Amino acid sequence: MTVSDPAALVERHECPTCQAPPGSPCRTRGGKVSPQYHSPRHMAVPQLRAELKVKTPADRSPGRAWAPGPAVAPVSVAEVVTEGIARIGYARCSTATQELQSQLDALSDAGCDPIFEEKISTRIKVRPEFTRALDLAAMVKRTTPQVRVHFVVHELKRLGRGTLELVNTAEQLRQQDIYLELLSGPLQGVHDPSGHGAALFAFFAGMAESERDYIRDKTLEGQASARERGRHGGRPEALDADLVAMARDLYARHVPVDDIRRKLIIPTGKRAGQHPSRATVYRALAPVLRPRGDAEAEAGSPTE
């Protein structure tokens, strides 16, 4: 069976959402054929797990009254099961500049299939690939309860950084009888966070959160130290100290800001050789800008 016939692939599985049996399309709550297959059902097919939706083909009569199709032998989730264990991997890093390949290699070597990946911060409340990985793990356990399901990550902080978030995730897995497997770190190995293990997991979750706070505090300290030495982060200033002094001297001699801008040339950077913007000039003049009323008076404009 190939992906060229996605409906046949999907319908080899029972639908966890609408309980449509193998061989039948999904159905709506109103008792009609659904226009597309429910996500937990098509995600059970490895070739289709990355699809956002899989449409119901016309020959299944979407929108009409639902009726069971011809019975077919239900398929197990053998595609993700090895020696009675289904390992579903999840890889995550916070920014686009960080690399994921080392995590993906480790998960692949551990026998994970499928592996969900995303580049997203744990500060983001909704992580789509993380949710999909959890949903697939739950679906595999529901459809084949005899299979032992492992949710696998490279290290604890790939799940999250906050203690409450980590403990809640572990409890969610425990309630669905899904094991948490960590490939590195102090909790390396297969972990069932229940009983005495719950306290140990909470301890290391707290350590992960403390590590995040420590990194943040050291980063802020480094930035403050750099500012004290005159080093500021971000894009370099368009005007150097000599040009700023020149702009302020011209302004003190009542030269209009637009004329000052045209006399200045940016010396370095992407805009080297160009005139600065009005906003850049105003930022340079900020400490010496005259109040608006005074400027109008000097120009001979009436003031209120």
Last residue of a domain, one of 170, 191, 212: 212
Q: Verify that 90 and 203 share a domain, yes or no.
A: yes
Q: Verify that 57 and 90 share a domain, yes or no.
A: no
Domain housing 70: 1-75
pLDDT digits (tens), the chain, 304 positions = 334 478 888 888 888 889 999 899 999 999 999 999 998 888 777 667 667 788 999 999 999 999 998 887 655 444 555 557 888 999 988 776 677 888 988 888 888 888 888 888 767 777 888 888 888 888 888 877 778 888 999 887 787 766 667 777 777 777 788 888 888 877 777 876 555 555 666 666 666 666 666 666 777 777 777 777 766 666 677 888 889 999 999 999 999 999 999 989 988 878 888 999 999 999 889 888 876 545 444 444 443 3
Q: Verify that 166 and 93 share a domain, yes or no.
A: yes
Q: 286: exposed, middle or buried (C-beta count within 10 Å: 0-12, 13-18, 19+)? A: exposed
Q: Verify that 46 and 64 share a domain, yes or no.
A: yes
Residues marked active site are found at 94
Q: Can you name the residues that pair with 89 across neighbouring β-strands?
A: 115, 152
Residue 303 is assigned to a structural domain of this protein: no
User: Which residue spans within 100-247 are E strands per DSSP?
Assistant: 115-119, 148-153, 179-182, 189-191
Q: Verify that 83 and 188 share a domain, yes or no.
A: yes
pTM summary value: 0.46
Cβ-based neighbours of 8, under 8 Å, separated by 6 or more: 1
